[in-house]
Amino acid sequence: MLPLSLLNAAVGFPILVELKNGETYNGHLEKCDNFMNISLREVIQTASDGDRFWRLPETYVLDKVKEDMLKNRNMGNRGGRGGRGRGGNVGGRGGGHTGGSQTGGGRGRGRGGNKPSLHKDKSSSTMANKKDFLDELRRQLKQRTQQQ
Amino acid sequence: MSQLQPYVDCKVSVVMNDGRLVVGILRGLDQTTNIIMQSCQERIFSEDEAVEVVDLGLYMIRGDNIAIIGLVDEVVDAALDLDSLRGEPLQP
């Protein structure tokens, strides 16, 4: 089975994403694309040393390390956690830290750049990712402004 | 990539770039060697304690982080006494 098809099949399920710098993101997979950029909701970010942050807005991730499909195992736990409630509290921090989804364009790019995960050997495919990622974000931003 | 086709549905041992060892059943792979593994177990070696096994479930590991994929001989693997194994962990 292809990894990308598994990823597409996992849309809507809770997953754990680990990045190259060791940070882990727990959240529901909202979207993914052929470059394996992913979009998560209700995300809990955990730094590599175990400190926790809450993040309510949508999170865009480029260049991941590995993903763990939590799926059925964690469905029940997630419901009970009430992460959403606490997410609201730290909205300020979340907003400052990551840059919300709404202004996804610049911030999203910034997130990608901040991470040391954009590896030393940046291949040409990563650049292609970024260009398409920007186009995609511009498109989404346009859609959202039109909706408003 | 097709060189790994015979490994599908077999138990494989994957060594990652950061030195981690993960064992599981290879379910799928693609052009960039991203792999899907089922029933993963991470084996953590140390010189003092017994091997630590962490059950991970279904994993998809991105190809850039994989160093080695090896086929596991199930007979030999079953015979391994993990409690008594000692070893120095791999470095990144």
B59 vs A1: CB contact, 8 Å cut-off? no
ipTM of the modeled complex: 0.74
A2 vs B28: CB contact, 8 Å cut-off? yes
Q: What is the full DSSP assignment across A5-58?
A: HHHHHTTTSEEEEEETTS-EEEEEEEEE-TT--EEEEEEEEE-TTS-EEEE-S-
Residue-level pLDDT at A87: 34
Residue-level pLDDT at A111: 37
> What are the backbone dihedrals phi and psi of residue B36, each rounded to the nearest 5 degrees, phi first?
-110, 130
pLDDT digits (tens, 9 = 90+) for B18-50: 888 888 888 888 888 888 888 777 777 766 655
Query: Can you tell me the distance from the alpha carbon of A18 to that of A15, in angstroms, rounded to the nearest whole number?
Result: 10
pLDDT digits (tens, 9 = 90+) for B72-88: 887 777 767 666 666 66
Residues of B in contact with A71 (CB under 8 A): 57-58
Q: Are B10 and B31 in contact (CB under 8 A)?
A: no
| Strand, helix or coil for residue B30 | coil
